[in-house]
Amino acid sequence: MNIKEYENGSFLKPLASIKYLFKKPHTLRYPYEEKPVPDRFRGLHINDVDKCIGCGNCRDICPCAAITMVDPSDIHPIDKNKVGANPVRPKIDYGRCSFCALCVEMCPTGSLKMSKDLIYVSPDADSFNWVPLVEQGREEGYTQSDEITPLMLEAEKMEELEPDVRKKTFEEIVKGFTREQALKEAMRCLGCGICMQGCPAHMKIPEYIQAIFDEDNKRSVKYMLEDNVLPGICGRICTHRCQDACVYNYRGEPVLIMWLKRYATDQLESYKDVEIEKMPPTGKKVAIIGGGPSGLSCAYHLTTMGHSVTIFEKGQRAGGALANGIPMYRLPIYELDKEIKHIEDMGVEIRLNTEVGKDVSFEELLENYDAVYIGVGLSFGRYIKLKGEEHPDVIQAIKFLRQVKVEGRREIARRVIVIGGGNVAMDVARTVVRLQQMAYGGEGTMVQTVSLEDWDIMPASKEEIDGALEEGVIFNPGWGPNQVLLDENGKIRGLEVKKVKYVFDENHRFNPAFYEDQKKVLEGDYIVEAVGQMYDLSFIPKELLDKLEFTPRRKIKVDEYGETTIPGVFAGGDLVETSRGDAISAIANGHRAAIGIDRYLRSKK
């Protein structure tokens, strides 16, 4: 021992601790003595399995690879058919877990939490790996922070023309993302894929958003075209059910998937440099009746499968409602031309101004082609049997919108009434606003809508309703049209309406009732009916039409791949039950029918 150690104390000093040997320890003995823990203590996990959507974000963020996603049905029943959720739940391996709580912070629904319990004793090592449940009875501890989160909860703000500016022009309202905005919005995507369940076409959304983030727009569009032949169009007018399914809806704002799609397609002048795989020619020929989104989708995919496809379109431009109905401020015609050009470049033949039943018979198509697809859509407006609707100043919405977009109509009355509460009615009302601004500078003008549905059940999208209100459209929800009123000169002076008692009866069927003693008059000079559309199958001979089966809703009955009860004849678009009246539904069932037609053709010897 050196002098320094001696000065610091005796070498026998360690033996002094013996005096503590018989003293009572200060440690607490669980569970006999209770020790309170902080409210945000990070103990074992608990999870509300019914609230959890199985997105897997907890697994992806875990730095210890302690989480796997498993089917918990053996310990807790879950709804495996729930849209916007996967039938799996997190399983925690406590041999790996570091209790960092990142999984809790990344949980979009707030279902996953941590308890105040850190005690678990078992001789079985495998038992330290389990699916946490709320029912395990642990007291809640660490939960999500409202102030600090790794999630980017706020979406980028999309710029658009101000109401006073846009209502004077048919220029496109939405300006689109800049490069910086697109990259920032793409970075928000968690890649969980829950959004794909909302999309009728089940597009590869995480993949094409990742490609946008990688600044590879060609690769992004390639992913899009695998399931959706009209991505640039859907980037403008889609009903974006993918965004409605986005996990961010639980805590913030959904990723703006539709605008990201538009951004990527806008970066490409054409799709000619996007590599699309095509199978060798089969020698089979398919006729498509109708060049709307359903027919275009079916034709495109059949061409990639090696078949020869001809579209018969009675109009002067392919696109159906996209070309004839959707206003220019929502869908510029150049965007439609760009995507149709790509379809033609892939080898699809489009015969315009060719009406089946007039220029070529349905029987000829059956005779000269190996399969036929019917995708004519809802091309006629539905009349409501309104007293006075035969007046020349009462017009159907489809006809009116076509006159404006295709024929260049610009004249309009000063006071216009639009009957209907759907998106088509909004298109009409907002188109009228623009025509009135051009014709009269807006002076002495008025546009008002009337709909059976009140605000809470109005079928138009919130974006369309808000846009119409901003542009000065007057709404009369919860009123039904009764009769057209004329002045002494036989000109329209208004529309008599009556208060709606209910729209749907106790069986949830459309069966409106009215208060006959509650009526009012809407003043107007011109009326547009936008209450629905119907199809025309008059080109099909009666003996063949009788062989088609229909659903109770008068849709053509088809199997899972779109084949009707006539072998080799397929149908899609608004003609079948899987349609929801929007472009993406038509595109989706056109693709499914293409798969069915391909199977049918390859099964024939």
**Is the domain of 181 the same as that of 134?**
no
Q: Which residue has the higher pLDDT, 557 or 26?
A: 557
Query: In degrees rounded to 5, what are phi and psi of residue 106?
Result: -85, -5
Q: Are 238 and 582 in contact (CB under 8 A)?
A: yes
Instruction: Please report, for the domain that includes residue 544, its CATH number.
Output: 3.50.50.60
**Is the domain of 137 the same as that of 242?**
no
- What's residue 9's pLDDT? 57
Strand partners, 418: 449, 528
- Overall number of domains in the chain: 4
Neighbours of 516 (CB within 10 A): 10
Strand partners, 508: none
- What's residue 132's pLDDT? 94
Q: Is residue 322 part of a domain?
A: yes
Q: Is the pLDDT of residue 214 over 90?
A: yes
Interatomic CA distance for residues 603 and 566, integer angstroms: 16
Q: Is the pLDDT of residue 120 over 50?
A: yes
Q: Is residue 163 part of a domain?
A: no
**Is the domain of 448 the same as that of 319?**
no
Interatomic CA distance for residues 159 and 4, integer angstroms: 77
Alpha helix ranges (H) inside 112-214 = 163-166, 179-188, 195-198, 205-213
Q: What integer is the mean pLDDT of 264-288?
A: 95
- What's residue 578's pLDDT? 83
Q: Is residue 20 part of a domain?
A: no
Q: 434-447: per-residue pLDDT in tens?
A: 999 999 999 999 99
Instruction: Please report, for the domain that includes residue 143, its CATH number.
Output: 3.30.70.3270
- What's residue 12's pLDDT? 59
- What's residue 445's pLDDT? 97
- What's residue 422's pLDDT? 95
Q: Are 188 and 212 in contact (CB under 8 A)?
A: no
Residue 3, C-beta contacts closer than 8 angstroms, at least 6 positions apart: none
- What's residue 6's pLDDT? 45
Q: Is residue 208 part of a domain?
A: yes
Neighbours of 137 (CB within 10 A): 9
Interatomic CA distance for residues 399 and 383, integer angstroms: 12
- What's residue 553's pLDDT? 86
Q: What integer is the mean pLDDT of 413-429?
A: 97
Mean pLDDT, rounded, of the chain = 92
**Is the domain of 466 the same as that of 424?**
yes
Q: 28-74: per-residue pLDDT in tens?
A: 565 566 678 888 899 999 999 999 999 999 999 999 999 999 999 99
Best-predicted range by mean pLDDT (13-22, 75-84, 497-506, 577-586): 497-506
Q: Is the pLDDT of residue 10 over 80?
A: no
Q: What integer is the mean pLDDT of 146-169?
A: 91
Instruction: Please report, for the domain that includes residue 230, its CATH number.
Output: 1.10.1060.10
Tokens of 1: 């021992």
**Is the domain of 513 the same as that of 404?**
yes
- What's residue 13's pLDDT? 62
Q: 305-315: per-residue pLDDT in tens?
A: 999 999 999 99
pLDDT above 70 coverage of the chain, percent: 94
Q: Is the pLDDT of residue 536 over 50?
A: yes
Interatomic CA distance for residues 80 and 82, integer angstroms: 6
- Amino acid in position 349: E
Q: What integer is the mean pLDDT of 251-269?
A: 96
**3 pLDDT band (50/70/90 cuts)?**
very low
Q: 577-589: per-residue pLDDT in tens?
A: 888 889 999 999 9
Q: Is residue 457 part of a domain?
A: yes
**Is the domain of 476 the same as that of 559?**
no
**Is the domain of 109 the same as that of 175?**
no
Q: Is residue 433 part of a domain?
A: yes
Beta strand pairing status for 479-486 and 492-504? antiparallel
Domain boundary among 499, 533, 567: 533
Domain boundary among 500, 533, 566: 533
In this prediction the pTM is: 0.89
Tokens of 478: 């919860």
**Is the domain of 374 the same as that of 307?**
yes
**Is the domain of 525 the same as that of 589?**
no
Q: Is the pLDDT of residue 528 over 90?
A: yes
**Is the domain of 374 the same as that of 384?**
no
pLDDT above 90 coverage of the chain, percent: 82
- b/e sequence 208-230, b meaning 16+ C-beta within 10 Å: bbbbbbeeebebbbbbbbbbbbb
**Is the domain of 331 the same as that of 309?**
yes
Q: Look at the alpha carbons of 440, 443, 444, 446 in this order and tell me if their dihedral is positive or negative.
A: positive
Q: 67-104: per-residue pLDDT in tens?
A: 999 999 999 998 888 888 999 999 999 999 999 999 99
Domain boundary among 509, 533, 557: 533
Interatomic CA distance for residues 221 and 219, integer angstroms: 6
Tokens of 366: 């059956």
- Amino acid in position 597: I
Q: Is residue 49 part of a domain?
A: yes
Query: In degrees rounded to 5, what are phi and psi of residue 517?
Result: -95, 5
Q: 366-412: per-residue pLDDT in tens?
A: 999 999 999 998 888 888 889 999 999 999 999 999 999 999 999 99
**Is the domain of 387 the same as that of 525?**
yes
Q: How far is CA 486 from the centre of its chain?
A: 43
Q: What integer is the mean pLDDT of 184-202?
A: 95
> Residue 573: which domain range?
285-378+536-603
Q: Is the pLDDT of residue 8 over 60?
A: no
Q: Is residue 579 part of a domain?
A: yes
Cα–Cα–Cα angle for 478, 479, 481, rounded to 5 degrees: 150
